[in-house]
Structure formats: C-alpha cells, structure tokens
Amino acid sequence: MNNNCPEWLTSFMEHKGITIWGAADLRGFPTPADQKDRCFEYAIAWIIPMNPEIMKSIKNGPNQKYADEYARANALINSLANALVAEIRSRGSNALMLPASVRTDTKGIKGEFPHKTAATRAGLGWIGKHCQLITREFGPWVRLGTVFTDMKLPCRTPIEKELCGKCVKCIDACPANALKGSAWAPGKPREYIIDVFACDRWKKENYMQFHKGHNCGICSSVCPYGLKVIKQG
C-alpha cells in the first residue's frame, strides 16, 4: 500500500480487502482519454491474488477450476473499479476504470492500456520472462486492477528492474514456444519477450473450452515466486 495516500483511499482499500496497491504516475503515457480528450496523469493499481492451489494445478494445462477462478477475480476487479471510480468522482475528480481482461484490439491482441504498466509504475512488481507481472508476495499468481484519475496522488517509486535472474522455468514450460527469453526493461516492446500470436494460437487450438481460448497459465504455474506461496502456506 501507499502510506502517503489520502486517508479516504487507504480506508477504501482496507474495506475492500485490498492489501497490495499503489498510485502510479502516468504522465507521458498514452492512457485512454477523458471527456476532453486528455490523457489521465495518474492511476491507482492493485492486485487480486489467485487461489494458489488452483494455480499450481495448471502445470499441465488449464482446467475448469482455473477458468472459474479467473472469472471470479476479474469480476471482483471490475466491481471494485466501478466503486472506486464513483468514490473519486464524488470527491470532485475524474476517473475511468480499465476493465479486466478486455481486448479492444483483437488483431494486435491487446487491450486499451496494459494493466502491467500501471502496476510496475505503482511499484507493485516487475515483468517476468513470461511477460506477466510478478509480485514478491504472490509471484505472478495475481490479477490486476487499474483506475485512471486526474486526482493528484502521491505515487510510489516505479519498479524498473526484473528480478528473475537466470531462471527460465516459464520458458521451458511454454507449450507454444512463445517465450523468447528476453529480460524485461521499461519501454522494451513485448515482441522481444513473447510471441503473442503463437501464444494466442496455441490457446485457441487447445483450450477453447476455457473462456474461448483466453486461458492457459502454464508459464505462471511453474514460477518459483508463485510456488513459494505454496511452501509458505
């Protein structure tokens, strides 16, 4: 959390059960525009942890429990985001939610703005070799929420260095051979890290029964930062 944030925001997050969150400075980033066609300068980013036993269970491929957990986390993110937008607007500022897991560019296989960018800028984690956010607390076994705002907030220090080291477990596990082994750095195009088209094609060819081929998670399931949650439990 961000201890310097307004008391109302800290209380809001505590009431919603969100323990890992922060404000991000997005000045200079092409966020979705407000009603006056201006980019938002700030965002509030948070994580929803996934059930660790379910995440561990998808080492050999997604299953229905994972698909249900994925849907549960996304619904929770969207509900919280809508409530946060309403709260910010009630205080005289503008806000806009970024929906969970929505592709606005189906050809390019991407959404309107990367949740991961807001999360790294908010100091929540870094991007692993599987092109997903990794947190110290839960590894990549999380879903991400983002609300943009023009409310000036005390922002956390962005994370700009990956902590995966020489680990390549996610690369070795990827059945689509979509991961390229390149380490993340801010501003590096995702094409250097992952072939999103190979990833998407594999999911649609093999896992259409799970959210129309949007679920896999094998690379996340083998991440040591995620597996340590099991060991600590």
Task: Kindly compute the dihedral angle of the four CA atoms of residues 63, 72, 160, 152, in this order, to the nearest 10 degrees.
Answer: 170
> What is the pTM (predicted TM-score) of this model?
0.95
Per-residue pLDDT tens digits for 177-186:
999 999 999 9
Give the pLDDT of residue 174. 97
CA distance 66 to 79: 20
Task: List Cβ neighbours of 32 (8 Å cut-off, separation of 6 or more).
Answer: 39, 40, 96, 98, 112, 113, 148
Residue ranges for the chain with pLDDT beneath 50:
none
* Burial class (CB within 10 angstroms; exposed 0-12, middle 13-18, buried 19+) of 96: buried
Give the pLDDT of residue 231. 81
Domain extents in the chain: 7-232
CB 94 within 8 A of CB 136: no
